Amino acid sequence: MAESSGKHEDAKTSAEMLRNTPSNIRRLADEIQQCEGRQKYLAQTRSPSDGGDVRWYFSKVPMAENELAAAVPNTEVVGKGDYFRFGMRDSLAIEASFLQKEEELLSNWWREYSKCSEGPRGSLSPIPESDPYDSPTTQSNKLFADEEERVGVPVKGGLYEVDLLRRHSFPVYWNGDNRRVLRGHWFALKGGLDWFPLREDVAEQLEFAYRGRVWHRRKFQPSGLFAARVDMQGSTPGLHALFTGEDDTWEAWLYIGLTGFGSMVKFGVTGLKLRRGYARSQSSKPTQDELRQKKEEEMDDYCSQVPVRHLVFMVHGIGQSLQKANLVDDVGTYRQVSESLADLHLSNYQRESQRVLFIPCQWRKELKLSGESAVERCTLPGVRGLRVTLSATVHDVLYYMSPIFCQDIIDSVSNQLNRLYLKFLKRNPGYDGKVSLYGHSLGSVLSYDILCHQETLSSPFPMEWMFNDHNAHGISHEGTSSLNSGDKDMTTNDKGSSVIPPEKGIATTADTEAILPGISHEGNSSMNSRDKDLITNDEGSSVITPEKGITTSADTEAILPETHAQESEKNDDLDESTGSNSEAITSNSNQIDEEINKNDEDVVIRSLKEEIDILNAKIKELESQRAEETKQEASIMTNENGFKSSPSSKSNTLKSYRPYIKYTKLLFKVDTFFAVGSPLGVFLALRNIRLGIGKGRDYWEDENVNEEMPSCRQMFNIFHPYDPVAYRIEPLVCKEHIDRPPVIIPYHRGGKRLHVGYQEFVEHVTARSQVVADSFSRVKVKVLTVCQSRDSDGQEDTSEEPEETGRPYGSIMMERLTGSEDGRIDHVLQNKTFEHQYISAVGAHTKYWRDPDTALFILKHLYRNIPNEPHIPIHGRLNHVDFPLGLYIM
């Protein structure tokens, strides 16, 4: 028992050691220097062909599905450009993890290699410990759970991990292809300058011969060469190596197929010189691929040393359903642009203090909407390519504007954000850095709506106000009313009486059904109780709902009888509920009688009794109508087996399609929200929404305007001047900013472009001229006034003093959204000098992913709180010598 528990603890410890934490990365890099297993892979001879570290490689081409790693590559020596090196620190971390379980990993490798040699290449072995009687769904769930739980060695800044058991790397935060991982221990010289790694099976046989010092057993070969021959067991017939040398100096060559005297003649053609351990290229002029490889290795080494202190989730917009669209590639391009700009515009201290990790949020890739198949069947065959493009782009906006599919899209984005954050926390426990959102196109609208409902977690469908605005004060047919979800305290009906609902945010569907039976199921009205204190019903009766948190079935029955179709068919229950209703309203009338004059008691009691009779009659009428409708629906709705649908299932179906959206609480606080190429402005304008805290109706001079505020510390709206999809946001926050132009984002090479600077200069001169003209006009008026009445100089001087007035409401909201009194939201990119508006508009909406100006602006903001150099106290710099402060300033 103790042994089993010990093994369990060892397995748990080894799993923890593989997690992507900065401490583990440092530990692996340090421990590998003292690792006993590594000593046998160090140079044990004085030969120039011996030495160097083991380097790990990953394949450029992804592996096929269910393909074993031992099946690739097909050749013993990898081709040029087929594999890329990991960075030095990544290779050290992988090698340290490999040495901890070397025997287990090598035995598993040879087991896979034997399967590939015996049967078809890449045949997948049966899943261990799986029940053959499990259903396909159960097996897929198990595989999905394994994929979610697997944690490998972190590489590439934590974006990828290496599974040493399966010898492949996989992306962590998105679904991607597996790539073959190769351990480079023995290398062959190809092309005379570059060393390329050998496949593991060949390298292991060469390593075995090396440790046995096979060159001490040299003999004359048929070719006449005095060397030791080592025949390789592999897929290539005639593969062998020749070792030459004496004592601790040796050299080796790899040959394929040739024997006898012919091999000596073609020695330089077929023989590949071998070495043990990695060595860099001997070329004096590296190629572009080698330069890119070197830069990528340096970036990987930087990422493995600097911890992540800012996490940015990048939410895509429309177009991800297209075949060529790939958010992962777009974010990868953006990441490369940001890294190149960071080297130029950030100090070493800033880059060493924190690292920003950009993670794509693919909410559309796995989302399947039920309406897509219907749209596909309705699509005309003509201009098929254009229709497919429109379906993959414009239709996403239409789906989101639909009350049926809006909930699915919101859930997909929220769940994906939370899932990515939990994955990051799993690999970075104790993370206390910042999290920001980058929303492009429709993704900015989705992110904004989620941020605006982090407190309430529920809201009417965003477009519902458009349909309710015209009927907000009217009564629809069949006596039902349509109420808008504004910030009104009381709404009265034609008869002037009121209904008091529960407190804000507590009203539910059950409460609505109890107060107005049958109305919620008829589909004639849409009612929301958010931000309302008093609502009236059609009959003008006063109905008091329970307090917050005390709503029970007993309270509902005390107000009105049960309205379900099953119970409405029972006459006895109806009579009892009617009697209880009469008692409830009579008790309310007794309270009113105490506050009026005794002379009017008879009149009031008589009027209340008449109202009770009217209510009872109305209740019976509504219940009978509802019972008939329920019977008709139950008789019509049958499933495929012929069973009738229950009324409860029908009720649930109707409720699921009500235009009421539920939001998921994010597991993190958002620091900054970047809306890039965003149509958010037009969405808010169509909803008649302004950005505020609900106190700006007088400021906007509109009683029907609604206000909301996103849950983030700062917000920016970045757009290209010719982007046909982008809109401004500041006019919906502050009226004073309607005529103010957006802030120009600086050019990444410094300053402003020539034509932008000239245009700004002309506008500045025009504005100054207008100011001077206005000043002359004011002076002229002042002089004329002084000449006409000298006695009133003191009064005029007093009247000319500016009056202290409070800040406008919009200016306060701008400060709340930007974190600064002079902060701005709208920021515009600079267009090129010779750029046609309509031609550039074609690609303006998609250029943000590769635009350096956008990347630099965001990068500067993310590093804004980190100084260029560390702070050093003044007395420390002056060796504790005290001088007057004035000397420092001089």
The predicted structure's pLDDT at residue 600: 64
Give the pLDDT band of residue 461 (cuts 50, 70, 90).
confident
Residue of 504, 521, 414, 399 whose CA lies nearest to 459: 504
Amino acid symbol at 111: R
pLDDT at 579 over 50: no
Percent of the chain at pLDDT above 70? 63
Cα(161)–Cα(159) distance, integer angstroms: 7
Question: What are the DSSP calls for 148-196, one per residue?
Answer: HH---EEEGGGTEEEETTTTEEEESSS----EEEEEE-EEEEETTTEEE
- 3 state DSSP class of 828: strand
Question: What are the DSSP calls for 67-106, one per residue?
Answer: --GGG--SSSBPPTTTEEEPPHHHHHHHHHHHHHTHHHHH
Q: What is the pLDDT of residues 389-444, one digit of tens each?
A: 888 888 899 999 988 899 999 999 999 999 999 999 998 888 999 999 999 999 99
Query: Which of 24-33, 302-311, 540-549 has the highest mean predicted lDDT (pLDDT)?
Result: 302-311
The mean pLDDT value of the chain amounts to: 74
**Residue labelled with tokens 């504007």:** 401
pLDDT at 25 over 70: no
Whether 835 and 723 share a structural domain: yes
Identify whether the C-beta of residue 543 lies closer than 8 Å to the C-beta of residue 537: yes
Residue of 478, 517, 474, 512 whose CA lies nearest to 494: 474
Give the pLDDT band of residue 243 (cuts 50, 70, 90).
very high
Whether 714 and 857 share a structural domain: yes
Whether 613 and 485 share a structural domain: yes
For the residues 246-264, what does the mean pLDDT come to? 69
pLDDT at 889 over 70: no
For the residues 541-554, what does the mean pLDDT come to? 40
Q: Beta 660-662 vs 355-361: how paired, if at all?
A: unpaired
pLDDT at 48 over 50: yes
Residue of 439, 438, 459, 442 whose CA lies nearest to 398: 442
Of residues 49, 59, 223, 441, which has the active-site annotation? 441
The CB density around residue 425, as the number of other CB atoms within 10 Å, is 13
C-alpha 446 chain-centroid distance: 11
Give the pLDDT band of residue 591 (cuts 50, 70, 90).
low
Mark which of 625, 656, 687 sits at the end of a domain.
Answer: 656
Residue of 560, 463, 474, 566 whose CA lies nearest to 524: 474
- Give all strands (DSSP E) within 746-837, no chain letters: 826-828
Whether 528 and 425 share a structural domain: no
Whether 423 and 482 share a structural domain: no
Whether 355 and 264 share a structural domain: no
Helix (H) / strand (E) containing 458: strand 458-460
Q: Is residue 133 part of a domain?
A: no
For the residues 148-155, what does the mean pLDDT come to? 77
Q: Is residue 1 part of a domain?
A: no
The predicted structure's pLDDT at residue 291: 85
Q: Is residue 314 part of a domain?
A: yes
pLDDT at 463 over 80: no
C-alpha 589 chain-centroid distance: 57
Whether 447 and 552 share a structural domain: no
Whether 453 and 501 share a structural domain: no
Cα(437)–Cα(416) distance, integer angstroms: 13
Whether 331 and 421 share a structural domain: yes
Cα(720)–Cα(828) distance, integer angstroms: 6
**Residue labelled with tokens 């008691």:** 601
Q: Is residue 3 part of a domain?
A: no
The CB density around residue 182, as the number of other CB atoms within 10 Å, is 23
pTM above 0.75, yes or no: no
The predicted structure's pLDDT at residue 284: 75
Query: Which of 265-279, 469-483, 875-889 has the highest mean predicted lDDT (pLDDT)?
Result: 265-279
Q: What is the pLDDT of residues 347-386, one digit of tens each?
A: 999 999 999 999 999 999 888 888 888 888 888 888 888 8
Query: Which of 302-316, 467-481, 619-633 has the highest mean predicted lDDT (pLDDT)?
Result: 302-316
pLDDT at 595 over 70: no
Give the pLDDT band of residue 31 (cuts 50, 70, 90).
low
Q: Is residue 364 part of a domain?
A: yes
The predicted structure's pLDDT at residue 474: 41
Whether 340 and 432 share a structural domain: yes
For the residues 111-119, what does the mean pLDDT come to? 75
Identify whether the C-beta of residue 852 lies closer than 8 Å to the C-beta of residue 333: no
Q: What is the pLDDT of residues 619-638, one digit of tens each?
A: 888 888 777 776 665 555 44
Burial profile 94-124: b = 16 or more Cβ within 10 angstroms, e = fewer: bbbbbbbeeeebeebbeebbebbeeeeebee
Residue of 394, 446, 398 whose CA lies nearest to 845: 394
Please count the structural domains in the chain: 3
* Cα distances (angstroms) measured from residue 430 to each of 239, 427, 528, 667, 729: 53, 10, 41, 14, 36
Identify the burial level of 677 via C-beta atoms within 10 angstroms of its C-beta, where 0-12 means exposed, 13-18 middle and 19 or more buried: buried
Question: What are the DSSP calls for 245-301, one per residue?
Answer: EETTEEEEEEEES--THHHHHTHHHH-EEEEES------SS--HHHHHHHHHHHHHH
The predicted structure's pLDDT at residue 377: 87
Query: Which of 15-19, 516-520, 819-823 has the highest mean predicted lDDT (pLDDT)?
Result: 819-823
Mark which of 591, 623, 656 sits at the end of a domain.
Answer: 656
**Residue labelled with tokens 């008589």:** 606
pLDDT at 56 over 50: yes
Residue of 97, 237, 115, 108 whose CA lies nearest to 166: 108
Identify whether the C-beta of residue 442 lies closer than 8 Å to the C-beta of residue 400: yes
Give the pLDDT band of residue 179 (cuts 50, 70, 90).
very high
Cα(457)–Cα(465) distance, integer angstroms: 18
Q: Is residue 745 part of a domain?
A: yes
| Preceding omega of 73 cis (within 30 degrees of 0) | yes
Identify whether the C-beta of residue 471 lies closer than 8 Å to the C-beta of residue 704: no
Whether 107 and 216 share a structural domain: yes
Q: Is residue 792 part of a domain?
A: no
Note the helical H segments in 571-663.
Answer: 571-593, 601-636, 647-656
Q: What is the pLDDT of residues 654-703, one digit of tens each?
A: 444 446 889 999 999 999 999 999 999 999 999 999 999 988 888 998 88
Q: Regarding predicted confidence, which is higher, 656 or 760?
A: 760
**CATH code, domain carrying 403:** 3.40.50.1820
Whether 383 and 317 share a structural domain: yes
Annotated active-site residue 587? The verdict is: no
Q: Is residue 771 part of a domain?
A: no
State the Cα torsion 656-660-666-672 to the nearest 10°: 140
The predicted structure's pLDDT at residue 33: 58
Range of the domain at 575: 474-656
pLDDT at 497 over 70: no
Q: What is the pLDDT of residues 761-774, one digit of tens each?
A: 566 666 667 666 66
pLDDT at 13 over 60: no
The predicted structure's pLDDT at residue 608: 82
Q: Phi first, then psi: what are they for 124, rounded to 5°?
A: -85, 130
